[in-house]
């Protein structure tokens, strides 16, 4: 996102801002699909998962016997049952041990399973990251970085929640409900079990239907959150542009419109949550009231003891607290599935540019490049290249010149195979680039772009990015060949100086020299200089040209130029017009023809005067 115009954000006639993809909906993801996706990551640690399940069973067993121990403690100190009071030491100690055991084994379960969830989050996060880098350039030109980062963050958190709570809350809670119903029916009356099961069924049905209804508000809030993040990041990345046009207030107003949508969406989300929680609380309250009424009446009729009443109450509390939590878990699972939708949609998006099934590594023997009858367009109704035929001899320096929109920079993108051509062939040493592996193709080419973007690390680390495996001596040699030594020596921290985000702390000429050093370190056979001096002053341009000449020596070099004075020494100059080669030759030959090149030369001389 180099400028506001490339951000992908648009403002509609009604002045309502819209983020990229705001109207796009990701395919819905159900629980079965999610578990199929997550099971391989669980299987990586099947031993830990099994131990965690055993710890879970131990924790649930301790929880189930605590109300039984509590009943015997109360009955043991009840004068109406035993006039001679004896402290039920065994049951007190047993109750304390079970209370500790339920917490301890729960913590053991979490400790064992946390390694599994963290491993899965790491693997899935890495998979998404690698997949994003595998997608074609067109996707990244249209992407909304802030929104994607939020989708990935929410998606990985959703995966963690699903793995932890689906396995250790929903199934165990359902098991606990069944066991409590059996205990009620066996120890007291079938009606306690009936009320329990009916309340649970009503609770689950109400939770499912209400959660499905409110899920649209969750999606709306997520979209508003992503759009807001996208707008904020886009505005901050274009900080200078905002300042150039005094648009701080405009940016604030636009951002506030996104925040307003987010606020409205969150309000709907909260109100729907109020309805869900209130309904769940009412179902639980009615069931507990009915059961306590029955138990209290039985105590008055002397058919049950106070210990029995306390046992029923403890089981109800023990049952309905996790049941209420089960409602929360279900809501969060639905939210997690919603969060997963966008992230899994990214993974399901196939790249438009992939290796052919029989792709072989590119073998660069000489470095000859040939565009043969190439047709290409970014949009079907606007052709860029038409029947282009262009040859770059091995080891030569060929310059491409022409007016804006003639297709100059498109040549480098097609050579890198960022896009596939619609007709013709692009050959390197006679090999069609569509028949070789993308990795080998791009390793054979190095580029110095017009706008070099650096990472927010040191100068040396940015240079080393051209070949992370390079030795210190190789990096020093690249620095020397790019004429960076004097600049680096003038800095207090030398080549350890941080360049700032996108390289904003170094000048244009310094950035280009860093880019040239990076290219030299890559050691590619084919070099591309894409208007590498167009934004530089005369002094910087002269220094960069000298560095470019040294870098190009012994390489097949493609120079895309706006300033004709920078390519007069090229072995061949090619003039593009409307996607076609209209002239080619040396500088002197083209001037002698008095054609398009001569006109462009005369105009630039006139502008220089």
Q: Mean per-residue pLDDT for 365-391?
A: 88
Neighbouring-strand partners of residue 575: 401, 583
Cα radius of gyration (the chain): 35
User: What is the pTM for the complete model shown?
Assistant: 0.62
Strand 382-392 to strand 369-379: parallel, antiparallel, or no bridges (unpaired)?
Answer: antiparallel
| CATH architecture of the domain with range 28-348 | Up-down Bundle (1.20)
* CA-CA-CA-CA torsion sign (233, 234, 237, 240): negative
Distance of alpha carbon 558 from alpha carbon 138, whole angstroms: 23
Helix (H, G, I), strand (E, B) or coil at 507: coil
Exposure string of 252-290, with b = 16+ CB inside 10 Å and e = fewer, is eebbebbbebbeebeeebeebbeebeebbeebbeebbee
Region class of 49: left (phi > 0), else alpha (psi between -120 and 50), else beta: alpha
Helices and strands: H and E segment counts in the chain? 19, 12
Q: How far is residue 192's CA from residue 186's CA, in Å, rounded to a whole number?
A: 10
Geometric angle at alpha carbon 22, from 16 and 26, rounded to 5°: 160
145-160 pLDDT tens trace: 556 776 777 777 777 7
Average pLDDT of the segment spanning 398-427: 87
> How does the average pLDDT of the chain come out, rounded?
79
CB of 455 within 8 A of CB of 462?
yes
**Residue 279 pLDDT > 60, yes or no?**
yes
Tokens of 344: 């899994």
Residue 128 CB neighbours (<10 A): 19
Structure-token pair, residue 578: 């409307």
Give kind and range of the element (H or E) at residue 168: none
- What pLDDT was estimated at residue 424? 92
Q: At what angle do helices 31-43 and 145-165 cross, to 10 degrees?
A: 80
Count of C-beta atoms within a 10 Å radius of residue 374: 24
pLDDT of residue 372: 92
Tokens matching residue 333? 């699972």
Could you report the per-residue pLDDT of 312-323, keeping only the tens digit for each?
Answer: 777 777 777 767
Mean per-residue pLDDT, 347-356: 81
CA dist 590 and 94 (Å) reads 100
Residue range 394-408: average pLDDT?
85
Q: How many angstroms separate the CA atoms of 403 and 370, rounded?
A: 22
The whole-number pLDDT of residue 432 equals 93
Percent helix, strand, coil in the chain, to 5, is: 65, 10, 25
The mean pLDDT value for 371-386 works out to: 87
Strands 397-402 and 556-560: parallel
Q: What is the mean pLDDT of residues 285-296?
A: 84
Q: Report how far Cα 420 is from the mean position of its chain's Cα atoms.
A: 25
Q: Is 202 helix (H, G, I), strand (E, B) or coil?
A: helix
Q: Which residue did the predictor score with more confidence, 341 or 384? A: 384
Length of the chain: 609
* Separation CA 356–CA 371 (nearest Å): 20
Nearest-angstrom CA–CA distance, 606 and 597 = 14
Give the model confidence (pLDDT) of 206-235 as tens digits.
888 887 787 777 778 878 887 888 888 888
Distance from C-alpha of 174 to C-alpha of 180, rounded to nearest angstrom:
10
SS (HEC) of 326-374: HHHHHHHHHHHHHHHHHHHHHHHCCCCCCCCCCCECCCCCCCCEEEEEE
CATH architecture of 452-523: 3-Layer(aba) Sandwich (3.40)
Measure the CA–CA gap between 255 and 250, rounded to whole angstroms: 8
Q: What is the pLDDT of residues 46-97, one digit of tens each?
A: 787 788 888 888 887 887 777 777 777 776 665 555 555 556 778 788 878 8
DSSP character string of 75-131: HHT-TTT-SS----HHHHHHHHHHHHHHHHHHHHHHHHHHHHHHHHHHHHHHHHHHH
Query: For 247-251, 328-332, 429-433, which range has the lowest pLDDT when averaged over its residues?
Result: 328-332
> 537 pLDDT exceeds 60?
no
Per-residue pLDDT reduced to its tens digit, 509-523: 788 888 888 888 888
- 573 pLDDT above the threshold of 90: yes
* pLDDT given at position 185: 79
Rounded CA-CA distance 202/212 in Å is 15
Which DSSP string corresponds to 257-269?
HHHHHHHHHHHHH
Of 159 and 572, the structure prediction assigns the larger pLDDT to 572
Percent of the chain topping pLDDT 70: 84
CA–CA gap between residue 597 and residue 599 (Å, rounded):
5
pLDDT score, position 434: 92
Taking residues 333-345, report their average pLDDT: 74
Reduced to 3 states (helix: H, G, I; strand: E, B; else coil), residue 177 is helix
What pLDDT, on the 0 to 100 scale, is given for residue 33? 66
What does the alpha-carbon distance between residue 384 and residue 188 come to, in Å, rounded to a whole number? 84
Structural tokens at position 316: 């109800």
DSSP secondary structure string for all residues of 442-461: HHTEEEE-SS----SSBHHH
Non-local CB neighbours of 521 within 8 Å, separated by 6+ positions: 463, 464, 466, 467, 470, 474, 475, 478
End-to-end CA distance of the chain, in Å? 35
pLDDT tens string 438-480: 999 989 998 888 777 788 888 899 899 888 888 999 999 888 8
- Tell me: the pLDDT tens digits for 113-152? 777 777 777 888 788 888 888 887 777 766 655 567 767 7
Residue ranges of the domains in the chain? Answer: 28-348, 452-523
Can you tell me the distance from the alpha carbon of 594 to that of 172, in angstroms, rounded to the nearest whole number?
86
Is pLDDT above 50 for 20? no
Average pLDDT over residues 189-195: 84
CB 195 within 8 A of CB 311: no
Does 278 score more than 50 pLDDT?
yes
């Amino acid at each position: 996102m180099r400028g506001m115009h490339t951000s992908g954000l648009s403002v509609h006639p009604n002045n309502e801002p819209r983020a990229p993809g705001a109207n796009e909906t990701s395919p819905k993801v159900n629980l079965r699909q999610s578990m199929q996706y997550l099971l391989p990551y669980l299987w990586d640690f099947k031993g830990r998962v099994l131990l965690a399940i055993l710890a879970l069973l131990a924790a649930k067993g301790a929880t189930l016997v605590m109300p039984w121990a509590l009943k015997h403690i109360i009955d043991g100190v009840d004068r109406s049952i035993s006039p001679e009071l004896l402290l039920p030491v065994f049951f007190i100690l047993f109750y304390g041990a079970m209370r500790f055991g339920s917490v301890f084994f729960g913590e053991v379960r979490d400790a064992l399973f946390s390694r599994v969830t963290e491993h899965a989050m790491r693997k899935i996060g890495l998979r998404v990251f690698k997949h994003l880098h595998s997608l074609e350039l067109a996707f990244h030109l249209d992407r909304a970085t802030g929104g994607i980062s939020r989708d990935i963050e929410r998606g990985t958190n959703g995966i963690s929640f699903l793995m932890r709570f689906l396995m250790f809350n929903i199934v165990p809670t359902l098991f606990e409900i069944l066991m409590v119903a059996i205990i009620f029916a066996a120890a007291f009356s079938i009606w306690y079990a009936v009320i329990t099961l009916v309340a649970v069924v009503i609770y689950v049905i109400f939770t499912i239907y209400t959660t499905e209804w409110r899920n649209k508000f969750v999606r709306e809030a997520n979209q508003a959150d992503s759009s807001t993040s996208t707008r904020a990041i886009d505005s901050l990345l274009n900080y200078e542009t905002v300042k150039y046009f005094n648009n701080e207030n405009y940016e604030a107003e636009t951002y506030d419109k996104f925040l307003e949508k987010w606020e409205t969406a969150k309000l709907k989300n909260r109100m729907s949550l109020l309805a869900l929680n209130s309904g769940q609380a009412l179902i639980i309250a009615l069931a507990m009231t009915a059961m306590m009424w029955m138990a209290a009446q039985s105590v008055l009729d002397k058919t049950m003891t106070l210990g029995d009443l306390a046992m029923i109450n403890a089981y109800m509390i023990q049952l309905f607290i996790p049941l209420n939590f089960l409602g929360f878990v279900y809501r969060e699972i639905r939210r997690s599935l919603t969060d997963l939708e966008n992230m899994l949609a990214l993974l399901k998006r196939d790249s438009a540019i992939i290796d052919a099934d029989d792709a072989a590594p590119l073998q660069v023997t000489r470095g000859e490049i040939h565009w043969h009858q190439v047709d290409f367009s970014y949009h079907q109704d606007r052709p860029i290249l038409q029947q282009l035929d262009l040859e770059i001899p091995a080891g030569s320096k060929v310059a491409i010149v022409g007016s804006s929109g003639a297709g100059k920079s498109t040549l480098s993108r097609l050579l890198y195979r960022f896009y596939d051509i619609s007709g013709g062939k692009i050959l390197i040493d006679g090999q069609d680039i569509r028949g070789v592996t993308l990795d080998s193709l791009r390793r054979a080419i190095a580029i110095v772009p017009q706008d070099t973007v650096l990472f927010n690390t040191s100068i040396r680390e940015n240079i080393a990015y051209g070949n992370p495996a390079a030795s210190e001596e190789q990096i020093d040699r690249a620095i020397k060949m790019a004429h960076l030594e004097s600049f680096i020596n003038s800095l207090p921290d030398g080549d350890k100086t941080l360049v700032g985000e996108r390289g904003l702390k170094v000048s244009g000429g310094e950035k280009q020299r860093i880019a040239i050093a990076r290219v030299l370190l890559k050691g590619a056979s084919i070099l591309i200089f894409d208007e590498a001096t167009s934004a530089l002053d005369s002094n910087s341009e002269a220094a960069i040209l000298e560095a470019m000449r040294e870098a190009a020596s012994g390489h097949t070099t493609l120079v895309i130029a706006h300033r004709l004075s920078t390519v007069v020494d090229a072995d061949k100059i090619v003039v593009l017009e409307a996607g076609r080669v209209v002239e080619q030759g040396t500088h002197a030959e083209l001037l002698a023809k008095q054609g398009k090149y001569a006109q462009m030369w005369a105009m630039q001389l006139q502008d220089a005067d």
